[in-house]
Every structure is written in structure tokens, then in C-alpha cells.
Structure 1
Amino acid sequence: MHTLTSGSKLAGKMVFVPYNQFKDVKFIAEGGFSKIYKAIWIDGPVTNYWSNKRRKRNYEVVLKKLNNSKEITYKELNELKIFHEFSLNWKKSNFDYNYDKNNYISKYFGITQEPVTKDIMIIMPYYNSGDLINYLTNDFYRLRDIISGLVNIHSVNILHRDFHSGNIFFLDKRHVYLGDLGLSKSATEFTDDDNNNENYGIIPYMAPEIFKGQKYTKKSDIYSFGMIMWEFMTGRRPFWNRSHDAELIIEICDGLRPPIVTNAPEGYIELMKECWNSVPNKRPEATDIYMKL
């Protein structure tokens, strides 16, 4: 069993936080591999890189409990590994952790351990306005913020690999963050996962080449962004009226895409279609999308 002790340093300023530091822990949601809780962190995160004394006390956080993770290793804590790699390489924040600075990526403060099950819980901020599903809007400036997050991830050669509206969080009307980097990995990293036939994600947001056994690339994330553009345009999830089954996968691989049903600007529709092109190399780069939005 992997033993965690108070003060164990993981990456940068992210450490193990004793579970008794959290109060008012309340269950709020459940995913395929985790349970989500809201809590109050009594001491709160450090707000100054140079001093542990400056903290945001009684800070609202989310505790993401990874199911059956009591024997997890550091290698398997992939969300923290990816965040560490990102924080070390992103040029605008390579010497400081400023909680008011928005790089459009959800912050990760560290981990704790649930005392009964011994499962690992990742500590991250609580976003008051929920995810994109609960906050669909025609404010296309927010869409530009979302692609900014993807630009930042891709700039340090990291793939998201699970990019959908449920992983886009709103602190308020002006602050958007990309989260849930649990499936993310370096674009140059090759693991056994790439050799098996298992695919992870929500079918309507997954690029057709993934269903055909090809590797994830940055262009796979771009396909997902095209679906998010459609969701912004219509207020519905792509293929909301279809079962997410093998039949849908086959049709997506054959070129099926959500219908264009609104009077969105022609340039917007064309960019969206470029993003979900069946040929990965014909999809734009994240930086190109940012410039066009």
C-alpha cells in the first residue's frame, strides 16, 4: 500500500493535506472513475510562493475521490503529473503560483486521503457557476477563453484527451477553466495505453480516428473543440437525442456530424466544420482557432 504522510511534497507547492483539514464535506456528483465532494479547507491554499504563512483560510474546494485508489502510486496520479509538467513549462507562470492569474487551466492544490476507504482525493478549487453544461451561453468571448486553455496545454506539448463541456468550469461569468486532466499525457509520451483497444471519453466528442485505433493527437482535441462550438451555438450537447452506442460510432466514422440548425455567422460555421474534419491534418491548430474567434 502506498503510504502518504503530512507534508509530503508532490510537485512544486502541491503537498499532501491531512483529511482533518477539511470540514462540511458534502457529496455533489459522481463520474465513471471518481466521486466529487464540496468542502471547506480550514487552513486553505498558500497564496504566496515564498511564504507558507499567507493563506486563503476557510477556502471552498472540490475533493475529487479516485475510486479504488488506496494503493495508487505517484506514477498513477496522472492529473498531478500533468499539472506539474504544465506549471513548470508555461512561460507566464514559471516562477510563481498566482491564484488571481488566469491561464484557463483548473488549479490543483495537492491531495488528501479519505480515512475510511483510504482512497486518494485530489484537491482543486470549487467553481461557483458549475460546468459548461450548466452555463451554456452565446457569449463567444468565453469560447475564446476555452480555446486559450487548449492553446496553453498544447504549447507545452500536452494532449487533453477528454475534452468536453463537462470538463469546462466557470468560476463566474468572466473566468473559465479547463479541468479534469486525468487522461492527459505528453504528446511525445508512449505508454501501454496506446497499444490496447480501450478508448476513454464521451463518444460525441471523440474524433473518428480514435475509434479506428489511431493514436490521440492535438488534432483529436481540436475535433472535440468543434463539438463544443456546436454546443455553444445550439445550447445542446452533440447527438443529445441519440444513444451513445456502436451504431453512433460507426456513423461518426462514416462522416456523421451534428446538424447545422441555427443562423450562426458563416465564418463561425466554417471554422467549426474545419475542426471536425474527418482528416486530422485538415483541422486547424489551436492557435489558428484563437486568432479567428
Structure 2
Amino acid sequence: MKMQIYLLLFVACLTGISNATVLVHYNFDDISGTTVTDTASGLYDATLGSYSQTGQTGSYTTVGAGKYDDGIGFYSSNGSGSGGWALADTAPVLGRSFTFSFWINTDRWTNSAWATYAVAASGAKMVIYSNTDAGVGTGLTARLYDYSATDAIPCVTSKLATMGVNAESNVWHHVAAVVTDLADITLYVDGVQYLSGSSTSGYGAGTANMDGLKLGGRFGANGSNNKYVSGSMDDFAIFDTALNAEQIADIYESSMPIPEPATMCLLACGLAMVSSRKNGKK
């Protein structure tokens, strides 16, 4: 009964997101072999992979403690040419506004890409990565830029979300990157906003002419400079709209993951029935 109440409350919190479609969702609870199921549409399943150079180790783990139930774990001994990843060879063509949302847990905040998106048909590339900014600190940032060399989409980089490496390591952090009209990118870490900056510094998506969605690193051939992460990820989702601060806070403060579309529909119906019964008793 308590879980049902939590579910209904979560749906109530997300009523402001009712006009947003979840285009991709990996809860990492439905991994079969090396396939990570896309529970949103089923169109963008990802494949797990890893590569280890001589003397270096790269790997992934599929069963372990996530933020909610199981998560996915990535390990890279050097953060560059050896690592583990989840790769969807095709990804949705995003519009001019969209949102990436996921949870991470790590003790390595430098030189690694958590999520990389590049689709020629959308005209955009985006990477969310750990980074060190001299004189500012170490933490997370996000970068949006043009897929081609025409610079039709101005390169924008969010201001660095400074993380206290010692105090903030080995705990779960919610990360959301919100793109508005392909001109502005706002990064949220644990509900705190970091607005777009004018800097064009930061890691690119890697090798050119590679389309898709990659978690755990950026694009590139095995053994190249892929900026692999070490840490865990859970509840990854892409929304087809720019969520606002209140909606991001609803996800961050929730005690449960983003429901699958079918579950959301059933819960919404249940919420409507509960509301109807309450109104009938008045």
C-alpha cells in the first residue's frame, strides 16, 4: 500500500511533465546478456562493450547497487583508451529543445565523458563530462555544439558544477542537462542550476561521423582517446522538451525512478480514479 501511495504521488509530481515524452529510458534492471533495454520505446537498445589495452583494464558490471535497484558500473584504469560503455548505434533525432537526466556515483571527477550524443539528422552533438577548470575547480559540465563544421549551432558550455572531490565522491548525484532552442544549455546537479557560459572549452564527442548515444565515454575506435569514466550510472532518460527547474527538482527529490510509459499511464488512471472517488464523497 505504501508503494502504491509513493507511485501515485510521483505521478502527481510529474503532472507538469505530462506534455513531455520520454524518448529513451534505461533503468538498467532489464539487461539481457550485453543488451540494455530501452524501456521507453524499445527502439534504442544499447549494447555493452569494453576494451583493455596492454597493461590497462576496461570493464563494465551489470548487476550491482544502483540508485534504484540495479545500476550499470563502468571501470577504466586509465580513463583514456581502456574502459567500458553502453552504446546505442541509433538514437532519436532530437528537436531544438530536450533534456538528459541520469544519476551517477563516482570518485573520479576529471577527464571523462558520462554521456555522448551525436546524430547528423538533428544537427547537434552534446557531451556531459567530468572536467577540471583551472582556477575554478573540479566537477561536471555539459557542452552543446554543431554536428558539422558549419557552426550553425553556436558552441555553448555550461558553467562548471563544482564538486568537492572528497566530500561529494562515492554518493549518488542527479545530473540533468537542459537544452533550449539549440542555443542554451543549463546543467543541474542535485537540483542546483549552472547556466550556460560563453566558453568553448571542453571535450568534443570524439571521432567524427559517428552517430548514436554512448554512455561511459565518448565516440572513438578502441584504443583511442575515449575519455572513459569510472563509476556507476542509473535511471538514464532523454525527454523531448526542456524541463524547467521545478520539474528537475521533482525527479531529483523523488524516492523512485522515472516510470515506464505503460506504468505511468496506469498510475495516472489510478490517480484519476482516486481523485474521482474523493470528489464523489464530498
TM-score calculated relative to the size of structure 1: 0.29
Q: Which has the higher strand share?
A: 2
Q: Which has the higher helix share?
A: 1
